[in-house]
Amino acid sequence: MSRLLRLISIIFIVVFSFQKTEAQSSKSRFKVISFYTAQNDLAHISFVHEANKWFSEMAEKYNFTYDSTQNWNDLNLKKLLDYQVVVFLDTRPESVNQREAFEQYMKSGGAWMGFHFSAFALTPSCYPQNWNWYHDEFLGSGQYVSNTWKPTSAILKVEDSLSPFTKGLPKTFKSSPNEWYRWEYDLRKNPDIKILVAIDSTSFPLGTGPKALEIWHKGYYPVVWTNTKYKMVYFNMGHNDMDYGGTNRTLSYTFANKVQNRLVMNVLLGLGLK
């Protein structure tokens, strides 16, 4: 009988240990929450839907939790403290309470990724530059100044090959089509900003117009950077090409680019596990 009891005990321990290991392995490595509006430009709406689908797939592959919401009132400290990474997919918070909560979250060690329009600010416009901490200090870019048109692929150059965010990337690579932004401030002059990726000069002329100012022929344009005072990375990518005025269907996809995707996942895993 004692031998049988010992055998049962051993079986119980093995089964319990296996279940415990399984539970631990299925536990999310970190949690991500994305905020979006998806109500304005068709290209931004297309990107948001694409991004939510892609990040959900990556969450299964890399074992993290991905939640997304249009409810910007969830941008409060009580909610944010349950997440290791916050993502802005297409806009920024507008209320004072939301902005204060986000600033406190970041200053307390939270992490953030932002795409394309999340950095946009232009006075006067529907999105004026009325948040100095975010645009001037946190992003360091100031206001939007101009853009290329129509959405076009660019040859991008890795500016910081030693960063873990750019690990495994080639020195240059071709991006997905995008509307590229130019900013008020020269990020190279900001000691807190580390530029990760910029437009390579071989991209020029960049853009097709029809307006002459929408075609860039020279200049230095950062498109991915981090502020070393915070756990954050901004991507200028996030504007799909669309059949405007025709079928309004999506003509290109931001996440249909393996090299670019690797950069995004390097950043997300680096922020989430840091």
The DSSP output letter for 254 is T
Tokens of 111: 């992490």
Dihedral angle over CA of 56, 264, 143, 155, nearest 10: -130
Domain with 242, as residue range(s), is 29-272
- CATH code of residue 197: 3.40.50.880
Quick check: is 8 in a domain? Answer: no
Quick check: is 13 in a domain? Answer: no
- The pairs formed by 242-250 with CB atoms below 8 angstroms and a separation of 24 or more are 242/42, 242/43, 242/46, 242/151, 244/42, 248/42, 250/46, 250/50
Quick check: is 15 in a domain? Answer: no
Residue % of the chain over a pLDDT of 70: 91
**Bigger pLDDT: 191 or 27?**
191
Report pLDDT for 40.
82
Quick check: is 113 in a domain? Answer: yes
Quick check: is 10 in a domain? Answer: no
Report pLDDT for 66.
98
What is the number of structural domains in the chain?
1
Quick check: is 14 in a domain? Answer: no
| HEC assignment per residue over 167-232 | CCCCCEEECCCECCEEECCCHHHCCCEEEEEEECHHHCCECCCCCHHHCECCCCCEEEEEECCCEE
Q: Which residue has the tokens 């596990």?
A: 273
Quick check: is 20 in a domain? Answer: no
Tokens of 248: 């309004």
Report pLDDT for 2.
52
Report pLDDT for 274.
85
Express each pLDDT in 115-151 by its tens digit. 999 999 999 999 999 999 999 999 999 999 999 999 9
Query: What is the residue type of 235?
Result: F
Quick check: is 1 in a domain? Answer: no
How far are the Cα atoms of 38, 45, 74, 164, 179 from residue 117, in angstroms, in the given order? Answer: 11, 11, 20, 25, 10
Q: Indicate if the pLDDT at residue 45 is higher than 90.
A: yes
